[in-house]
């Protein structure tokens, strides 16, 4: 009687999988194996989607985070464990180069940080990046970029120069090297525009980079 009831309760896609069964325990065993393999395949698929998650061009951070959360919730629903660090790694790994300084700051923290805090800081970073892009496209900034900085303390082309174990900051006023200030030096830029060592953008040094103010604020300096 149980055997007949099991057969009648199965859906049409499952019935072919239990053909040839003569006992109810055989039906249970085949059903279990079928759904167990299906569940593991679903876990592998979701893990792959989570690992390959990347923010799309012009995609808002909020949408990017929601998409990752949806995948994580699906993994949890099928019994898969997703740690706090797994979630943070996924969010940071999918960010573009514009967020390199942000990623370094998060991984450089000595204390643990929650996923919620990372998401909040990331939204702040997105807003600052957008403001920075708008400032760069304004006419006044374009003119200043051509004429160069007018600050008497940072005339000429200040720049960071690679050095063993640190960096050098050179201008007419002096040189900053690996945490030590070395007197008055000559400009090593030779008229060339520098590359920022915080965000790796060309055209300005780390002192003038907007990431510097964000870094100081983030570290409470």
Q: Where are the domains of the chain?
A: 1-44, 53-122, 158-218
Q: What is the pLDDT of residue 212?
A: 64
Q: What gap in Å lies between CA 209 and CA 201, rounded to an integer?
A: 9
One DSSP character per residue, 176-205 reads EETTEEESS----STT---B-TTT--BSS-
Out of 92-101, 168-177, 207-216, which region has the weakest mean confidence (pLDDT)?
168-177
Out of 25-34, 65-74, 161-170, which region has the weakest mean confidence (pLDDT)?
161-170
Interval 113-136: pLDDT, tens: 999 999 999 999 999 888 887 877
Q: What is the pLDDT of residue 83?
A: 94
Percent of the chain with pLDDT over 90: 35
- Quick one: pLDDT band at residue 171, thresholds 50, 70, 90? very low
Handedness of CA 179, 184, 186, 187 (dihedral sign): positive
């Amino acid at each position: 009687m149980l055997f007949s009831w099991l057969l009648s309760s199965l859906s049409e896609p499952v019935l072919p999988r239990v053909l040839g069964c003569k006992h109810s325990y055989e039906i249970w065993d085949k059903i279990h194996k079928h759904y167990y393999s299906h569940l593991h395949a679903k876990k592998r698929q979701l893990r792959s989607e989570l690992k390959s998650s990347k923010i799309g061009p012009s995609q808002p951070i909020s949408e990017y985070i929601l998409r990752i959360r949806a995948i994580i919730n699906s993994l949890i629903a099928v019994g898969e464990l997703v740690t706090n660090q797994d979630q943070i790694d996924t969010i940071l790994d999918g960010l573009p180069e514009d967020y390199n300084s942000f990623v370094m700051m998060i991984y450089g923290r000595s204390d643990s940080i929650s996923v919620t805090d990372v998401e909040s800081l990331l939204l702040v970073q997105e807003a600052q990046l957008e403001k920075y892009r708008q400032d760069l496209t304004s006419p006044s900034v374009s003119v200043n970029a051509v004429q160069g900085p007018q600050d008497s303390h940072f005339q000429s082309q200040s720049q960071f120069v690679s050095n063993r174990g640190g960096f050098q900051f050179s201008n007419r006023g002096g040189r900053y090297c690996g945490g030590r200030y070395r007197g008055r030096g000559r400009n090593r830029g030779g008229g060339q525009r520098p590359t920022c060592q915080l965000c790796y953008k060309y055209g300005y040094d780390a002192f003038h980079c907007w990431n510097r103010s964000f870094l100081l604020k983030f570290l409470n300096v």
